[in-house]
Chains A and B, each alone.
Chain A
C-alpha cells in the first residue's frame, strides 16, 4: 500500500520499552471511586443517584444532557458515599462535581441492556443509541462522545473508517497492548462502527514501531473483507487525525473542516473495543487500560483500571515512586497535561499517567533564539513558530493570528527540538486562549449592539404606533374636518 508524505514531524525518544512488553494487568478495586460528571467534551452529565443509594456495576448514575454529552456508569457495585466537589484531572486542579462510590467488593453487574444479536443487520440508529447509552467517548485522549461521531454517516457521505492505532506519543503502550491482546475485539468493534457509519472500508493505521501489533491485527483482520491494517511511518505526530488521514489517503483536510468532510471518520482502537463490549454484551464503558510509566515509577505497567480510580492509588499499585518525580503528566509527554493533584481520578480519556524525572524532561533554561529554523522545518502544520513566538512576546496577538497560531494544535514538536529551549507551545497556548477571549468579547459586544439596536427600533415603533393611534383617535373625533395645511405638514 502506497503511503503519502506528511510534512515535518520529529523522532523523539520513544521510551516505550518500559511498558511495551508488560501485559495488561487488572487494578484491584480501590477503597473509593471518584466519577466526575464531566469526563468528555460537551455538557456534563446529570446526576441520577443520591447519597446512600446502592448501585450495581454498569448502572447509569448520571445521564447525558443535550446533544454533545455522555452518561456515567458505576464501575463497580457499591454505595454512593457522596456527591461532592473533587479536584479534576486538569492542569488547573479546579474542583468539579464528582460522584464518590464505596465499592462493596462484590463487583456485581446490574441488569444490562440486551446484546444486539446481529449488529450488522441492525439499524445504525440502534447502534448509535447503544454507544451513546454506554457512555463511550474517544479514548485516544480527546474524549469526544463517540456516538456523535458515529452519527456523521447520516449527514455526510462517508467511505472509510480509519482506526487510529498510531500511538505516536512516547511512553504510551496501552493501545499497543490492547491491539496485541484483544485484536479480535478491536476489529469486531471497528466493523460494527463501520456498519453504523455506513462506510464499506475499515483501515487500521499502526506505527511501524509496533510490529507485533501489526502482525496480530493483520491476522485478525484477514478474516474480513474490507478491513486492512497499514503500518505507518514512525513520525510524531502521526496519531494526529488529520495527519494520519493524509499519510494513508493523501487527502489534506481543509482548515475548519473535518476529516468526515473527506469521507473519513477516525476513531481510536480502544474506543472500538469499548463499542464491541457495549454492542455485544451491553456493557457500558466502566474501565480502561492506562499506561503508568516514567522513570520515577517503581514498576511501570499497563493497567486495566476502573474509571474513577485515584491516580495516587494507581501509582501505589505500581509500587509507588522510585525517585521524586519532577512532573506528573496526564497523557503522553508531548501533548499531555500536567497534573496539579494526585487525588484526581482516572477518567475515560486517561491514556497514560507519567511520573517523569528531571533528566527525562530535560527542560533547560531558555536562551535567546538563534533562528536555527528547526521549528519551521519540523512543524507538521506548516507554521513558522519562530515568527509567531516573536509576535506573541510583544503581545502582538493579531500578528500571530495572521500567521496562523490558531491552526496550531500544540503537538509540541517545536518546543521539543528548540535548541534554545524556548517554551513555544506555552506561548501559542497563551495566544490561543487570549484570542478566543477577545473573540468572545467581540461577539458579546456585537450582541449587545444588536440588542440595543433592536430595542431602539422597538421603542421607535412603539412611539410611532402611539402617535398613529393618537392621530387615528383625533381623526375619529373629527371625521368631518378636512386636514389643514399645517396638519398635512405634521403628518409628512
Chain B
C-alpha cells in the first residue's frame, strides 16, 4: 500500500468531457440528418469534408503542441466543432470552404489560444464568420430543398461536380428568408409584402426551406435541445434568454412598425436562431460559468441578433452576436460570481442578525 497523495473525494460522478461532447453530437443528429436528406449528396460531401478537416487539423495542432493526440482526439470536441461549422455552411458550398473553415476554427480560434477550454471565441463561429467575410458570394449561395432521390435532386456524380468541381447550378439557388426580406426592404418593398414570398411558417418550422446545412429544422433542433436539457448537459438559461429576448424585441418593433420590422415568430423560425440558441451560444468554453452570467449572455445574444439582422449589412446575425458576447464572457464572469456563503456581495462577513433572509 502506498502513501495516498491526493485529497478526496473518493467517489466521482461518471461524467467526462468525451461523454458530454458525445451527447451534444447525438442531440444534433436528427436535425442534421434531416438537412442531409433535404439538401442531398452535396451537403453530405461538404459535411464529411468539414468534419474530416477539423479532425485532421486538430491532430496536427496537437502534434505540434506535443500533446497526446489519440486521447485528446477521443474527447470528440474537434468533431463537434466540425459538425457545428458544417451546420452553419451553405449546403452546396465547395469543398475548400469546409477545409478553410476548419483551419480558421481549429488552428486559429482554438489551438492558437491553447487548445480545448482556452479559446475565447466559439471556434465554429469564428470559422463561419471568417468565411462569410472573405467569400460573401459563396457563403450566401443558398439552395432550395432538393431532397435525396427526389426529381431534380443532384445525383451522386452531379454532387461530386458541385462539391469538388465548383459547378454550382445557377437555376437551383434560392435566397434565405432573412436575406430576401432584407433585399426587398433595401428596394423599398415593405416587409409586410415580401414576407408573403418566403416559405410559410409551417414549412419554416419543419425546416423545408433554404438555409445552412444544419439550421433549418426548428422542431428537430428543439427536440435535440430539450434532450440536452433533460440530460442536464445544458440548462435553460441561455436558450430561453436568447430566444425570449429576440422574440420580445422583434415583436415590440413589429407591433410599432410592421412595414420595416418582421414579427418575433419570423425571427425565431428563420436563420440559425434555434441552432444558435441551443447548440452554439451554450458552448461551455465561451459562455459564462454562472447561471446569472448565462442570463445576461443570453439576453445580449438575443438583442444583438435582432440589431444585426435589422441594422447591419448582413441579413443574419447569430454568429456575429455570439462572437461579440463571447468577447464579453470574461467580464460577465467577473461580475456575476455567486455570493459566498456567510458573506455579502463585497465579500465581507454578513452582519449577525437573527432575521431570516
Classify chain A's interface size.
35 or more
Interface residues of B in 1-57 (CB under 8 A from A): 1, 3-4, 6-17, 19-20
Q: Is A329 an interface residue (CB 8 A)?
A: yes
The answer on a CB contact under 8 Å between B11 and A242 is no
Which residues on the B side are within 8 Å of A13 (C-beta)? 11
Check B356 for interface membership: any CB of A closer than 8 A.
Answer: yes
Contact between B354 and A361, CB atoms less than 8 A apart? no
A12 to chain B, nearest CB (A): 6
Within 8 A of A (CB), among B80-132: 115-118
Interface residues of A in 75-94 (CB under 8 A from B): 91, 93
- Docked Cα-Cα span, A345 to B8, in Å, equals 20
Find out whether the CB atom of B352 lies under 8 angstroms from the CB atom of A252. no
In the complex, how many angstroms separate the beta carbon of B169 from the nearest chain A beta carbon? 42
> How far apart are B340's CB and chain A's nearest CB, in angstroms?
5
Q: A117 at the A/B interface (Cβ < 8 Å)?
A: no
**A286 is an interface residue with CB less than 8 A from chain B:** no
Q: Is the CB of A262 within 8 A of B349?
A: no
What is the chain A residue whose CB lies nearest that of B9?
A412
Nearest opposing residue in chain B for A384, CB measure: B337
The winner among A4, A364, A373, A386 for most chain B CB atoms within 10 A is: A373
Pair A337/B349 contact, Cβ less than 8 Å? no
B75: chain A residues at CB < 8 Å are 367
B334 to chain A: closest residue by CB? A387
A354 to B4, CA, bound (A): 14
A315 to chain B, nearest CB (A): 12
Query: Which chain B residues lie closer than 8 Å to A372 at the CB level?
Result: 20, 284, 289
Knowing A327-B10, A417-B15, A425-B8 are in contact, say whether A368-B20 is a contact too (CB < 8 A): no
Of residues 52 through 89 on chain A, the ones whose CB sits less than 8 Å from some CB of chain B are none
Query: B338: CB under 8 A from chain A?
Result: yes
One digit per residue, 1 when the CB lies within 8 angstroms of any chain A CB and 0 when it does not, for chain B 319-357 equals 000000000000001000111111100010111101011
Q: Is A410 an interface residue (CB 8 A)?
A: yes
A403, B8: Cβ atoms closer than 8 Å: no
Whether A415 is near chain B, meaning CB under 8 Å from some CB there, is yes
Give the contact stretch, choosing among A174-182, A208-216, A374-382, A448-456.
Answer: A374-382
A119 to B339, CA, bound (A): 44
Assess the B3–A340 pair: CB atoms within 8 A: yes
Provide the residues of chain A in CB contact with B294, threshold 8 Å.
Answer: 373
Q: For chain B, residues 280 to 295, give those with C-beta under 8 angstroms from any C-beta of chain A.
A: 284-285, 287-291, 294
* Chain A residues whose C-beta falls within 8 Å of the C-beta of B14 in the assembled complex: 362
Interface 1/0 per residue, A1-43 and B, CB below 8 Å: 0001001001011000000000000000000000000000000
Give Cα A381–Cα B6 distance, bound, in whole angstroms.
Answer: 22
Q: Which of chain B's residues have a CB closer than 8 A to the CB of A423?
A: 6-7
Q: Pick out which of these stretches binds chain B: A225-233, A253-261, A437-445, A484-492.
A: A253-261
Q: Which of A339, A341, A384 has the most CB of B within 10 A?
A: A384
Please, which residue of chain B has its CB at the minimum distance from the CB of A365? B71
Tell me which residues across on chain A come within 8 A of B356, comparing CB atoms. 4, 249-251
Q: Are A382 and B284 in contact (CB under 8 A)?
A: no
| Inter-subunit contact A370/B284 (CB<8 Å) | yes
On whether A376 and B10 interact (CB within 8 A), knowing A250-B357, A257-B342, the answer reads no
| B-facing residues in A239-274 (Cβ within 8 Å) | 242, 249-257, 261-263
Task: Give how many B residues have a beta carbon under 8 Å from the other chain's beta carbons.
Answer: 50
Contacts of A369 in B (CB 8 A): 117
Q: Is the CB of B19 within 8 A of A380?
A: no
Q: Provided the pairs A372-B20, A381-B341, A382-B340 are in contact, do residues A334 and B11 lie with their beta carbons within 8 angstroms?
A: yes
How many A-B contacts at CB < 8 Å in the complex? Answer: 188
**Residues from chain A with Cβ under 8 Å of B341 in the complex:** 7, 242, 252, 255, 380-382, 407
- The answer to whether A254 and B350 touch across the interface, beta carbons within 8 angstroms, is yes
* Contact across chains for A367 and B338 when beta carbons are under 8 A apart: no
Query: Contact partner of B15 among A334, A376, A419, CB < 8 A?
Result: A419
Inter-chain contact B117/A336, CB cutoff 8 Å: no
The reply to whether B338 and A420 form a contact with Cβ atoms under 8 Å apart is no
Chain B nearest Cβ from A255, distance in angstroms: 4
User: CA–CA, A361 to B357, complex, Å?
Assistant: 38
Would you call A193 an interface residue if the criterion is a C-beta within 8 Å of the partner chain's C-beta atoms?
Answer: no
Q: Which residues of A contact B19 (CB under 8 A)?
A: 419
Given A254-B351, A255-B349, A381-B340 contact (CB < 8 Å): yes
A341–B291 Cα distance when bound, in Å, is 43
The chain A residue with its CB closest to the CB of B356 is: A250
Contact of B7 among A354, A376, A410 (CB under 8 A): A410
- With contacts A252-B357, A381-B340 known, is A91 near B4, CB below 8 A? yes
Which residue of B3, B115, B338, B350 is within 8 Å of A7 (Cβ)?
B338
Residue of A nearest to B16 (CB): A419
- Contact present for B9 and A339 (CB under 8 Å): no
Q: In the complex, what residues of A have CB within 8 A of residue B288's CB?
A: 373
* Contact (A360, B333) CB under 8 Å given A91-B4, A252-B357: no
Q: Is the CB of B342 within 8 A of A407?
A: yes
Given contacts A342-B1, A368-B115, A384-B290, contact A253 B342 (CB under 8 A): yes
Q: In the complex, are the beta carbons of A370 and B3 less than 8 A apart? A: no
A334 lies within 8 A of B16 (CB): no
Hey, which bits of chain A sit against chain B, CB under 8 A?
Answer: 4, 7, 10, 12-13, 91, 93, 170, 242, 249-257, 261-263, 327-329, 333-342, 354, 356, 360-365, 367-373, 376-377, 379-384, 386-387, 402-404, 407, 410, 412, 415-421, 423, 425-426, 429
Known: A333-B9, A372-B20. 14 other contacts (CB 8 A): A252-B342, A254-B349, A254-B351, A257-B352, A341-B1, A367-B72, A367-B116, A368-B115, A368-B118, A371-B284, A372-B289, A376-B337, A404-B347, A421-B12
- Which B residues contact A (CB, under 8 angstroms)? 1, 3-4, 6-17, 19-20, 71-72, 75, 77, 115-118, 235, 284-285, 287-291, 294, 333, 337-343, 347, 349-352, 354, 356-357
Offer 25 A-B interface pairs, CB within 8 angstroms, sorted by A: A250-B356, A254-B349, A254-B352, A262-B354, A333-B10, A335-B8, A340-B4, A356-B11, A361-B10, A367-B72, A367-B116, A368-B116, A368-B118, A370-B17, A370-B117, A371-B289, A373-B284, A373-B289, A376-B289, A382-B338, A415-B12, A416-B12, A418-B15, A420-B117, A425-B7
3 smallest CB-CB distances across A and B, nearest first, come from A338-B4, A373-B289, A412-B9
